Structure 1
Amino acid sequence: MSIRTRGTRMTYRSLTAAALAALMAMTLSPTDAQSAPARESRPVYSYPDAIRESVWVDTRIDGDGDGRTDRVAVDVVRPRETARQGRRIPVIMDASPYYACCGRGNESQRKTYDAQGNPVQFPLYYDNYFVPRGYAFVAVDLAGTSRSDGCVDVGGRSDVLSAKAVVDWLNGRARGYSSRTGGERVRADWSTGRTGMIGKSYDGTIANGVAATGVEGLETIVPIGAISSWYDYYFAKGAPLYNSGPDWLSNYVESPAARQRCGAVQQRLVDGAPRTGDRTPLWAERDYVPDVDKVKASVFAVHGMQDLNVRMNHFGQWWEALADAGVERKVWLSQVGHVDPFDFRRAEWVTTLHRWFDHYLLGYDNGIDDEPMADVERAPDQWSTDRVWPPRETRTATVRPDRGEAPGVGTLALKPARPGASETFTDDRTLDETDWAAAVDRSTPAKAGFTTRPLSRDLRLSGSSRVKVTVTPTTSTAHLSAVLVDLGPDTIRDYASSGEGITTLPERTCWGASTSGDSACYKETAAHTKAVDYTIFSRGWADLGNHASDATGRPLTPGKPVTITLDLHASDHVVPAGHRLALIVAGTDRDLIDPPASTPTLTVDLAKSAADLPVVGGVRAFQQATKGAPAQLAPRESGLLDGVAEPRPIRPIPGGTP
């Protein structure tokens, strides 16, 4: 039960935190119970002596059609001391398809087992750090992966319900067994039922999906670089991405046995997800945003603002829906790509996550729910905080493109262009957003760029932008891209590098207790930075054939103008004084969207086009920043703009680099 008020985080669980903390003090060791009220769990339990066991939980669905309900493998590690004393403990859970095929974390760790099949290594540090502090850690193989029955359906019913069944089992509502077939009944009588799900990418996506079922006992989720709608992973308003569909990903993560039995599920993924970009019923099943009103868990979201795998639109639409539903929430937004916070802000992350779980799973009144909602990385390893996100002062400022002195090199201001003003460009599938940004001040045939004057003061954009354009195509198919660019020198994390903004170092630090088969020590990382002359900080794409409907595309009529709105990815970026803000409109963004069948030339009606920007301070802030004496920047020796390397082609693997 929650007392839900938009913009606040006062809940029933917050009001009863002190009572729960007192109760948990009785279930922990005498050492912990000496301090009242408890504010932090302590590492008082033996990790080497912990109970390690495997359970197969009945999902109550028959995804592989073999006539019996599927069971998913659940590996558990928990303190032996609490078991001996009959004390119940909360659970941290990571449900993943990657434990066998690909590994987890920066070092691609997999689960390992002894000769009897008992779990030995649990990937990542969650078990090493939290089990000694009185938590159980549960690692779930999603249906169709590793040692589980069933089939992978890429974010659909089987994926989500196989993880939900484990939450039900932890709360006494589902059945667990000692083997995949047959076996003795196993009960989670050691669990309080209070569960927190965590995970990066596919794992965090499943946490979103399970939370959207409203399952009782799921107290909090920590989705890291997670998907909120699978349609938006494979398409951008009809424009296809990755040159593949969910069947490729399903085949990639499934166990060899599942590949033999899941042909029918694979075919349903092919048939239900045509590369036309239409929103079929398959995609509706895999969209968690409409069910956000069912979410009872608090949410601590983490996302890289330069994540070109699971892009920021997933975070943006999920976050906005959570806010509308009054869900308790917190966020970290970094400058990296698809990277876990353990690998870009390790010490602060472990401390914050510890306090988060202590509050929401143990009930400790440690104040984390009263602290600023958002941490935002402003420069490599430099962070700021916001009481709420986006800041309360954020308002929409509608800015307009207009012609400049040279073709394709226009202006961006509040005043609309005169009727009849236009710019024309031809789609060039060999170019991408970095090529457009580097040539923003030069007339080139493949883009139209519009820039403000140099700013007289900082201008902060915080949230999601939208760009409405009226375009006349010369062909029956066309793709459209729009990007926002900060034109000016800076040092940023090199998100297009192989590490997506981090460099892995040989030195290791340890986070918890270890055994001979499961080390708590991980390689350190450092920011991988690059000096640039521009920064692309938001982007969006669309198939122009989807101008009349987000759900269905249609052929264009050459020579007939159409109007479409591109949803640009959420971001939080400060364009400093002296820099310029640019909006660039072009065709195919190479390696980020697939090219159309034709090579269209498009004419943009500037008088009927505009961008709605989430400006902190709104229109007044934009006016103030674009008037007055512009700040002066030291000239650079080169006349060409230098940004990060062109974006790397991303395979459709939401776990990122295994």
Structure 2
Amino acid sequence: MNDSERTPDHQYVTRRTLLQATAAGTAGLSLSGVASADDDPIDDPLPVEDPPVDFVCDPDNTEHYTEVSAEPTHEFGEEETIELESEQDGKKIQLGVLKPDLEDEETAPVILRATPYVDDLREKSLRDCVRTERLTENYVERGYAVAAVAVRGTGGSGGCMELFGPNEQADVDQAVTSLGEADWSNGNVGIIGRSYDGSTPWMAARMGNPYLSTVVPFSGVPDMHDLLYRRGAPEPRGYAILPGLYYAISLGVHSPATGVGLATYLERLSCPDNYTDGSVWSLYAGATGERDPSGYWTERVLKRGVARNYDGSVLMVHGLQDWNVNPSQVYPWTDELREAGIETHIYFKQFGHHYPDDGRIQETDAYNENWADFLLAWFESELKGRDENVVEDEIDTVDVFDASVHAQHSGGEWYTADEWPPAEASETELFLGTDGNLRATPDPETNEEIVYVDETREYDPTQPSDPEPGCRACATFVSAPFDDEFRFAGGPELTLTVTPTTSGGHLTAYLWAVDEDDEAERLGWGQIDLRYADDSPAAEYPTPGEELDVHLPIEPLDAIVPEGHRLAVVLHQGTTGDRTYSPTPAPVVVETGGETAMALQAWNAAAPRASLDVVGEREDSGSVFSGGQTNRTDLSVAVEQPDDETVLVRETIPEAWTVDEEHGDVAATTPATDGTHVYFGLDDRRSEYDALTHFATAPDDLEESGEYTFGPLAVTTETADPEGDDARPLSDREWTRLEGTERDVIVTAVDI
């Protein structure tokens, strides 16, 4: 979760960073016998050769952020470094505070950032620290104190870095209490931050700190185990990487001169137990997907107690394209917070691991040039108790309280609502058909597809791998084009029946919007290990060869499929979300047709090409045939809606029967998994076919006696010339099957 604000190369944990972290962790283990010291001379900084990154406090930082439009009401006042004694074990908790210049008896609320990404603050200014600069420059002159607390084992704080551990949680809670009780404070504290810093707000919230009035988490992690090992599908970060990385950060590996003294450095070198425990239980969780029996991960679930204890408000900020901290970390948890009576506002936009006013998204629709004003309006209400209308009069910006949801869908449009997904979105289902079609009604037939890891491709778990529609190791289901814009939001879920080939295996699912030129845009994804098919807390190993019911969730999204485009579902076993993978890849058989479906919250329940209403009839020359006998089939097809739509027609001839291509109206044939497909109307495409005839000869081998099925009929609206260079083959087009147009016949063959 090292979330660079200025350098895109640091947005994700790189392999070089991982090597540094591993090396640092190894060094720490080898020096486990070094004793800690009480004295901490600041003139003994840790020498490090690595170049600086953006979490150091450096006056030359050039972070991009928006500025408030309201005129200053105060001047900058006193800045001080406060050192508390931890109530847990007496270790130092270092706080930096920059106050506005207050009149006698005047008080100020506090905006706090609790972070591991800060230097020792005794000779640093919060105005120079990249994670607090945007706060000090915007809000101190508007009457707010801005503070930063270095979580234990980082910056100038003592103790060992715990990666959200219980002592760290208690230290943050103690810092909030100290700020709330200060004689210059009005008693209201808000915590704000992104990534790791967006997770620390939940530490004080879960404890019900009475001084915590609001939290504004950006891409926060309230459940680290769920982020790294959700449904048994681990991230590479989960395999001992994060404990090692943050141990390295605590040693100052990423900073040329953090100001950490020699004594603190030696103390942190003596902290390998934290690193070792985290590494051991990371490996355990990666292998099993479970929370460990030691409680290491359980005590890091920050959600616990929030609904029961917290009495403040929440402004939840998250990018729906954030694959560093997946959106499932906050939704549907937002619903639970609201049900608990916690005022919860949602800000969901189409960005990644960014601030809404991050310079890297400045040229996109997700960028909010009024973000600083938006936050000021929030703080005025939640920390100063000011009337929202007064705030709106003084600040030329949107009223943040006109609705509790501010969101953006994938088409770029901004909207407000009272809930998310908005109430007008209703539950609907799309079904995975046997012919690779995504349809509005269940397919009466069932079939099977197999997904597997394609050994001809390279799979690097640290790199993106998003199989698109049609990949050879995938099961792909594509809708017909939509007559109207199709919009859906929330967390879609696939209900599947699968047959694993081993006692493990996993599935990934991707959603794509596909345009007229077959260009695909990814809308969402999800992944599970089959040991967690029903989201059980413990791994339940499937039995090879036995069917298994699976519920596969898609990460929360707010998506648009434009008019004329198609929606595609791709099942696969590749990596997902740029980083997640599975240690148990093995072929999985997926049942298609029947009730296999994807449930989603959609704005229009209209199915793909919902207006296409087609009826078909058939008449065969008999129901029982002897070997070598010919069946004459007469077909009729009519498009009832829309009136001007023309279609091609497809019939299925059962396997072992021979199609007579010289007689009748057959225009073309292609082999199929269940026999032969014959096509009509290629040269004379119509909306109504009164009499289509084809002839097929029954098998005459005695062993081939039995029941056979003709049909069903199917139609397609695709108009491309099948002979054109860029035309899709007939077998790959989007076919709509006509229910009730099958016919079962009996063959009694004879030896010849």
Matches of 1:545 and 1:228, distance apart in 2: 24
Matches of residues 641-656 of structure 1 in structure 2 within 5 Å? none
Determine helix, strand or coil for the equivalent of 1:237. helix
Counterpart in the other structure of 1:56: 83
Q: How many residues align?
A: 514
413-422 vs 473-482, greater mean Cα deviation: 413-422
Equivalent positions of 1:415-454 (< 5 A) are: 415-418=441-444, 420-428=446-454, 430=458, 438=468, 440=469, 442=470, 444-454=471-481
Distance 1:576 1:211, change over 3 A: same
The structural deviation recorded for 1:260 is 1.2
Amino acid at match of 1:126: L
* 8 Å CA contact 2:482, 2:609 repeated in 1: no
Residue equivalent to 2:146? 137
Distance of aligned partners of 1:561 and 1:320 in 2 relative to their CA distance in 1, 3 Å threshold: same
Shift, 1:279, TM fit: 2.2
Structure 2 vs 1, CA of residues 633 and 547 (structure 1 numbering), >3 Å: closer, same or farther? closer
For residue 372 of structure 2, what is the aligned residue in structure 1? 350
Indicate whether 1:413 and 2:445 are aligned: no
Q: What displacement does 1:453 show?
A: 1.1
Q: Distance in 2 between matches of 1:582 and 1:263?
A: 48
- Choose which of 283, 286, 299 in structure 1 pairs with 2:300: 286
> Per the alignment, in what secondary structure is the counterpart of residue 149 of structure 1?
coil
Say whether 1:254 aligns with 2:250.
yes
8 Å Cα contact 1:241-1:592 kept in structure 2: yes
Question: Deviation string for 1:136-187 (max 9, x for gaps)?
Answer: 0001101111110122222231332221111111233xxxxxxxxxxxxxxx
TM-score by length of 1: 0.72
Rounded Cα–Cα distance in structure 2 between residues aligned with 1:334 and 1:626: 34
- The residue type paired with residue 225 of structure 1 is S
1:304 match = 319
Once the two structures are TM-superposed, the CA of residue 612 in structure 1 deviates from its matched residue by 1.4
Can you list the C-alpha shifts for 1:184-233, whole angstroms capped at 9, x where unaligned?
Answer: xxxx2111120111101111111133222221111111111111211122
For the residues of structure 2 that align with 1:231 and 1:265, how far apart are their CA atoms? 17
Does residue 475 of structure 1 match 2:502? yes
CA distance in 1, matches of 2:204, 2:312: 10
- Write the distance in 1 (CA, Å) between the matches of 2:192 and 2:725: 46
Pair 1:425–1:328, CA change in 2 (3 A): same
Tell me what 2:74 maps to: 45
**CA distance in structure 2 between the partners assigned to 1:118 and 1:436 by the alignment:** 44
Give the aligned CA root-mean-square deviation in angstroms. Answer: 3.2
Q: Which amino acid aligns with 1:125?
A: R
1:88 aligns with 2:107: yes
Q: CA deviation at 1:272?
A: 3.1
* Offset, 1:623: 8.6
Between the aligned partners of 1:210 and 1:189, the Cα distance in structure 2 is 21
**Contact (CA 8 Å) 2:437, 2:478: kept in 1 or not?**
yes
Larger Rg: 2
CA distance in 2, matches of 1:141, 1:218: 18
Does structure 2 retain, via aligned residues, the 8 Å contact 1:436–1:584? Answer: no
Change (3 A) 1:570 1:633: farther
Greater shift in the superposed pair: 364-373 or 457-466: 364-373
The aligned residue for residue 372 of structure 1 is 403
Please, which of 159, 165, 185 is the counterpart of residue 168 of structure 2?
A: 159
**Structure 2 vs 1, CA of residues 536 and 634 (structure 1 numbering), >3 Å: closer, same or farther?**
farther
Q: Percent of aligned positions with the same letter in both sequences? A: 26
Provide the rounded CA distance (Å) in 2 between the counterparts of 1:399 and 1:138.
50
Q: Find the counterpart in structure 1 of residue 37 from structure 2.
A: none
Aligned mates of 2:467, 2:280 — CA distance in 1: 38
Deviation at 1:55, TM superposition (A): 0.5
Classify the secondary structure of the residue corresponding to 2:148: strand
**Cα contact 2:477–2:569 (8 A) shared by 1:** yes
Alignment partners' CA distance in 2, 1:340 and 1:459: 28
2:556 is the counterpart of 1:570: yes
> What is the DSSP-based 3-state SS (H/G/I as helix, E as strand, rest coil) of the residue aligned with 2:388?
coil
Could you say which residue in structure 1 is the equivalent of 2:96? 75
1:36-58 CA distance string (max 9 Å, x none) = xxxx97512222xx211001223
- The structure-2 alpha-carbon separation of the partners of 1:369 and 1:335, relative to structure 1 and needing over 3 Å to count, comes to closer
Instruction: Give the 3-state SS of the residue equivalent to 2:197 in structure 1.
Output: helix
**3-state SS of 2:199 partner:** helix
Q: Which secondary structure state, in structure 1, belongs to the residue aligned with residue 274 of structure 2? A: helix
SS where residue 475 of structure 1 aligns? coil
> 1:379: Cα distance to partner?
5.8
- 2: CA distance, partners of 1:90 / 1:479: 49
Choose between structure 1 and 2 for higher RCO, CA contacts under 8 A separated by at least 6 residues: 1
Equivalent runs, 1:179-328 vs 2, <5 Å: 188-243=182-237, 244-245=239-240, 246-255=242-251, 257=265, 259-273=268-282, 274=284, 275-276=286-287, 277-280=289-292, 281-293=295-307, 294-328=309-343
User: Counterpart in 1 of 2:27?
Assistant: none
Q: Is the 8 A contact 1:289 1:317 kept in 2?
A: no
**Letter of the aligned partner of 2:590 in structure 1?**
T
Aligned to 2:178: 169
Q: Which residue of 2 aligns with 1:332?
A: 347
2:725 and 2:539 mapped to 1: Cα distance? 44
Structure 2, gaps ≥5 residues long: 1-68, 253-264, 362-366, 390-398, 614-640, 646-716, 729-752
Change (3 A) 1:41 1:219: farther
The answer (yes or no) to whether the contact 1:88–1:191 under 8 Å persists in 2 is yes
- SS of alignment partner, residue 202 of structure 1: coil
Q: Is the 8 A contact 2:374 2:400 kept in 1?
A: no
How far is 1:389 from its partner? 2.1
Amino acid at match of 2:381: H
Q: Give the Cα–Cα distance (whole angstroms) in 2 for the partners of residues 622 and 314 of structure 1.
A: 31
Query: Secondary structure of the residue that 1:171 maps to in structure 2?
Result: helix
**Matched letter for residue 482 of structure 1:** A
- Normalising by structure 2, report the TM-score: 0.63
**Retained in 1: the 8 A contact 2:350–2:412?**
no
Give the SS at the match of 2:458.
coil
- What amino acid sits opposite 1:484 in the alignment? L
Using the alignment, how far apart are the partners of 1:228 and 1:299 within structure 2?
13
Q: CA deviation at 1:559?
A: 1.4
Q: 1:139 to 1:551 in 2, by over 3 A?
A: same
Matched to 1:535, the amino acid is E
One-letter amino acid of the counterpart of residue 430, structure 1: E
1:451 and 1:580 in contact (8 A); partners too: yes
1:359 has 2:381 as partner = yes
CA gap of 1:418–1:169, structure 2 versus 1, over 3 A, is: same
Residues of 1 paired with 2:85 and 2:719: CA distance?
66
Report SS of the residue matched to 2:371.
Answer: helix
Following superposition, the deviation at residue 351 of structure 1 comes to: 1.0
C-alpha contact (below 8 Å) 1:219/1:296 kept by paired residues: yes
Classify 1:364/1:622 alpha carbon distance in 2 versus 1 (closer, same or farther; 3 Å): farther
**Shift in alpha-carbon separation, 1:53–1:467, aligned structure 2, 3 A:** same
The answer for unaligned runs of 5 or more in structure 1 is: 1-39, 63-68, 101-110, 173-187, 405-409, 491-531, 642-658
CA drift of 1:479 comes to 1.7
Q: Determine if contact 1:146/1:255 at 8 Å carries over to the other structure.
A: no
Q: 2:414 aligns with which of 352, 369, 383?
A: 383
Q: Which amino acid aligns with 1:560?
A: E
Q: Aligned partners of 1:640, 1:598: CA distance in 2, in Å?
A: 35
Structure 1 residue 626: Cα displacement: 8.2
- 1:477/1:596 contact within 8 Å kept: no
Shift of 1:287: 2.2
Contact 1:397 1:613 in 2 (8 A): yes
Distance in 1, matches of 2:337 and 2:199, equals: 15
Q: Match of 2:596, SS? A: strand
CA 1:604–1:119: 2 relative to 1, 3 Å: same
Q: Tell me, what secondary structure is at the counterpart of 2:325? A: coil
In structure 2, C-alpha distance between the alignment counterparts of 1:457 and 1:437, rounded to whole Å:
27
1:146 to 152, 155, 170: 155
Residue 463 in structure 1 maps to residue 495 in structure 2: no
